[in-house]
Amino acid sequence: MIDWTRVDELRDEIGTDCFDEVVELFIEEVETEIDQLRSGTDPDQLEACLHFLKGSALSLGFEAFSKLCQEGETNAAQGRSAHVDLSAILSCYDASKSAFLEKLAR
């Protein structure tokens, strides 16, 4: 679900203090997009929203979430927004976020 090697690499690259700031910013920005998905994103903006989420997720090691966003982005780009499994994307994000924050707290 989480690529902990990527998380460790990022922490090593930017330092612990900056890492904490990046995590905070990541959650803040991603939550804004997630809220849009939960409230029904305009189909014309779905591809861009999923593209943003995919990239953000990759940068912080949210591997499974990123993969689902990629699949959704591809469907949206092909005009198949109805085939995007928003429920799976949102559930995966919630589970990934919980696992991520729980492990960071240790």
User: Within 13 Å and on the Cβ side, how many CA atoms surround 38?
Assistant: 10
**What confidence score (pLDDT) does residue 48 get?**
95
Residue 73 in this model has a pLDDT that exceeds 90: yes
Total number of domains constituting the chain: 1
Distance CA(8)–CA(39), nearest Å, equals: 33
What mean pLDDT do residues 1-21 have? 95
Q: What is the dihedral of CA 47, 35, 88, 60, to 10 degrees?
A: 80
Selected residue with higher pLDDT from 91 and 106? 91
pLDDT tens, residue by residue, 12-58: 999 999 999 999 999 999 999 999 999 987 888 999 999 999 999 99
Q: CATH number for the domain including 63?
A: 1.20.120
pLDDT tens, residue by residue, 57-68: 999 999 999 999
Q: What is the mean pLDDT of the chain?
A: 95
**What confidence score (pLDDT) does residue 22 get?**
95
Question: The domain containing residue 37 runs over which residues?
Answer: 4-105
